[in-house]
Structure 1
Amino acid sequence: MTTTATLTERYISATIRSLAPEVQDDVRAELEGSIADAIDARLDQGEAPAEAERAVLTELGDPGILAAGYADRPLHLIGPKYFLVYWRLLKVLLWIVPAFAFAGVVLGQLLDGAPTGTVIGTAVAATIGSIVHVGFWVTLVFFILERAGADTGVKWNVDQLPEPTQNGAGRADAIASIVFLALGVGAVFWDALLGFFPTGGAPIPILAPGLWPWGIAFFLALFIAEALLAVVVYAHRRWTIGAAVVNTLLAVVFAAWSLTLLVRGELLNPEFLSFVFTDNGVTDETMRILTVITGFCLVAFPAWDIVDGWIKTARARRS
C-alpha cells in the first residue's frame, strides 16, 4: 500500500532534485524546518492545516527558482554583471558589421558584373545574415561568461565619463566646413588651370572639360550649400530634423548627379584617363573595376554623411 505524498514533501522533492547530491540532505532539512515553522505560525492564527500549508508553499514560490538560488545558478540569459558590456558591444558591432557586409558585397558584386537585382538581393541577404550572426555569437559568448562566472576584465571608473558634446554643432565643425569648401573650390580651379599630374606639356585636368561652366557651378553650389548648412547648425547650437533633411537632400543630389556623370563618361576627362591609364597598358577590365570603385566611393561618402547627420540629430533631441 502506498501513501500519498503531502504538498510539502512534493515541494521539497521538486526543489532538491536538481541540486548536487552532497547538498540535498542539508537543503531538505532546512526546508522542512522553515516550512514547518511557517505553518505553525499560521495555525496559531487560526488557519486550517491544509490552507496554512498551501499558503506557505505559495509564498515560497516556484521550486525551480528556489533551487537556482541554492545552487547560485542564474535564471537569466545575460545578468546585470555582464549586461552593460554585452549591450554596448552588441550595439557597436550592429552599427559596423552589417554596414561593412552590405558595402563589401555590393562592391564585390559590382566588380563581378552582376545584374542590379542580384546585387541588391545578395547584399540584403548578407546584411540580414550578418545581423543574425552578430546577435547570436555575441549573446552566446556572454551566455558562457555568465555561466562560467568569468571576469570580462572591463572595470568602470570616473575617467570613462564622456566629455560634453555639441552634437556636431560646434564652432570647429563650421570652420571645417568652410575650410573644406575653400579647398574644394581651390582644387577645382587648380585642376583646370595647373593640373595635378606632370604631363611635360599643357596640363590635363582630371575633371571633364565639358563640365565647365554649368556642371562645375552646380557642384560648387552644393559645396556652398553644405558650408551654409554647417553655419546654420552652429548658429542654432544643435542639429534639427530640418537640418538633417537638408543634409540628406544635398548628399543624395551630389551622389545621384556625380554617379550619373560617371556612368555617362562625363565626369572624368577622357584625355586624362588615356594619359594615366590606357597609354600605360591598363586594360579595359581594369578600367571598369576602377570605375566601379570610384562610383562606390561617390555613393558611400554621401551615405555616411546622411547617417552622421541623423545620428547627430538624434543625440541633440535626446539632450
Structure 2
Amino acid sequence: MNTLTDRYLAATLQSVPAQRRDEIAAELRGSIEDMIEDRAGNGQDPTSAEREVLTELGNPSLLAARYADRRLQLIGPAYYLMWERLLRLLLSFVPAIVGTVVAVVTAAEGGSVGSAIGTAIWATLQTVVQIGFWTTLVFAILDRTNTTLDLPGWNIDQLPDVPVKRQISLSDTVASVVMLALTIGYLVLQHFQSWVESADGTNIPIIDPALWTSWLPVIIAVLAASGVFEFVKYRVGRWTWPLYGVKVLLALAFTVPVAWLLFEHRLFSPALVDHFDWFSQGDNLTTLAGGIVIGMAAIMIWDLVDSAAKTRRSTIV
C-alpha cells in the first residue's frame, strides 16, 4: 500500500547517496513509526497522527540535505563576507572604467555619439554580469571543495572608529566625478567629433589641436586629479584645511592656464575661428574670452568661499 510514510520516504531517499539509502530508510521509517505510535497511544487517530508527524518533519528535500550533509546555499558563511567585499570592490570601478574606455575608442574610430554611448552601456552591463558570475563561481567552488585560504584573520585592531556625521554626501561626490569625467571625455571627443563641420563635412575641433602637445594634457591631468580629490574628500567625510588647500591649488591649476590661453587667443582652434565670421569681427573674440574668464573666476571664487565656510564649520570644536 502506498501510504503517506512510503511517499515521504521515497521523496527523501531520492536525494541521498545511493550507498546510504537502505540505512537512512530503516532509521527514518523507524523514527516515524515510533512517533506515530506515541501519538496513537495517547488516543489520537493513527491516520491524523501520521499526517502530523510527517508535517513536523518538514520538506523531504531539506531532510535529505541534512542526511547527506549537503549545503543548501551557493556560498556559505566561511566565504560569504570575503565574496561580498571583493564583489563590491570590483563593481565599484571596473565597469565604469570599461565603459569609459569603450566609449572613447568607439568615438576615436569615427563612431557617432549615440553609438559610443550605446556601446559603452552595453559593455558596462556585460562587465557587471561577468564580474558577478566569475567571482561567485570561484567562491562557490572554494566553498564546496573546503579550500582553505591562508588569509589573516580578524582582530580587534580592525575595528573602525566611531563614524562621525558626514559632511560630504555620496550624491554630491558622484555628481562631481561624473561632470569631470564628461568634461574629460568631451575634450577628447571634440578632436574627432565636435558637431561643427566645414563646408566639405570635415570635423572642426573646438580646441586648438596644437594644444595636444602642450597645455591640453596638463588640463586633462588636472581634471583627473580633481576627480581623485573628490573620492579622497568623500572618504575623509568632511572638509579639512589640508583638503581645502588642495582644492585651491587644483582650481588655480585649471583656471589660470585656461584664462591665459583665452586671452592669448590660443584656446579655440583657428579653423573654428575662421568658420564663424562673428569671431573675426572687431574685438568679438577678445570680448568672448573676457566674458568666459570673468564667469570662470566668479564660479571659482564662489566655490572656494563656500568650501572655506564649510571647512571652518567642520573644524570648529
Instruction: Name the counterpart of 1:220.
Output: 297
Percent identity, please: 38
* Mapping for residues 115-264 of structure 1, pairs under 5 Å: 115-154=112-151, 155-163=153-161, 164=163, 167=168, 168-171=237-240, 172-184=242-254, 207=267, 210=286, 212-235=289-312, 237=314
Deviation at 1:189, TM superposition (A): 8.0
| Counterpart secondary structure, 2:117 | helix
Question: CA distance change for structure 1 residues 75 and 108 in 2, over 3 Å: closer, same or farther?
Answer: same
Question: Number of aligned pairs?
Answer: 225
1:131 CA drift (Å) = 1.7
| SS of alignment partner, residue 122 of structure 1 | helix
2-structure distance, mates of 1:40, 1:235: 79
- For residues 35 and 237 of structure 1, do their structure 2 counterparts lie closer, same or farther at Cα, with a shift above 3 Å needed? farther
**Residue deviations 1:185-223 (CA, integer Å, cap 9, x gap):** 666688899xxxxxxxxxx89756957533233223333
- 3-state DSSP class of the match of 2:44? coil
Partner of 2:88: 91
Structure-2 change in CA distance of 1:145 and 1:233 (3 Å):
farther
Which residue in 2 is equivalent to 1:251?
none
Please state whether the residue corresponding to 1:218 is helix, strand or coil. Answer: helix
Check 1:132–1:170 CA distance in 2 against 1; reply closer, same or farther (3 A cut): same
Matching residue's letter, 1:221: A
What amino acid sits opposite 2:307 in the alignment?
A
Cα distance between partner residues in 2 of 1:123 and 1:69:
47
C-alpha separation in 2, matches of 1:120 and 1:148: 42
In the aligned structure 2, how far is the partner of 1:66 from the partner of 1:17?
11
CA distance in 2, matches of 1:128, 1:229: 38
C-alpha contact 1:38 1:56 (8 A) present in aligned 2:
yes
1: CA distance between counterparts of 2:92 and 2:306? Answer: 26
Distance 1:185 1:97 in 2: 31
The letter of the residue matching 2:305 is L
2-side partners of 1:215 and 1:120: how far apart?
29
Contact 1:177 1:226 in 2 (8 A): no
SS at match of 1:146: helix
Distance in 2, Cα, partners of 1:158 & 1:231: 37
CA contact (8 A) 1:181 1:224 kept: no
Distance 1:152 1:234, change over 3 A: farther
2:6 paired residue number: 9
Counterpart for residue 247 of structure 1 = none
- Other-structure match for 1:61: 58
Rounded to whole Å, the distance in 2 between the matches of 1:118 and 1:181 is 33
Q: TM-score, normalised by structure 2?
A: 0.61
Residue 180 of structure 1 aligns with an amino acid whose one-letter code is L
Q: Is the aligned partner of 1:25 residue 2:102?
A: no
Give the Å deviation of 1:23.
2.4
- Within 2, Cα distance between the matches of 1:95 and 1:145? 24
1:125/1:182 Cα in 2 relative to 1: closer, same or farther (>3 Å)?
A: closer
Query: Structure 2, unaligned stretches of length 5 or more?
Result: 169-236, 269-284
Q: What does the per-residue CA deviation read over 1:173-193, in whole Å, with 9 as the maximum and x for residues that have no partner? A: 333323434555666688899
Check the 8 A contact 2:259/2:293 in 1, yes or no. Answer: no
Between 81-90 and 225-234, the greater mean CA deviation after superposition: 225-234
On the 8 A contact 2:103/2:117 being kept in 1, the answer is yes
Change over 3 Å in CA distance of 1:185–1:136 after alignment to 2: closer
Q: Which stretch of the first structure deviates more once superposed, 44-53 or 226-235?
A: 226-235
Q: Does 2:64 align with 1:38?
A: no
The structure whose RCO (Cα within 8 Å, separation 6+) is larger is 1
**RMSD of aligned residue pairs (Cα, Å):** 3.1
Change (3 A) 1:120 1:160: same
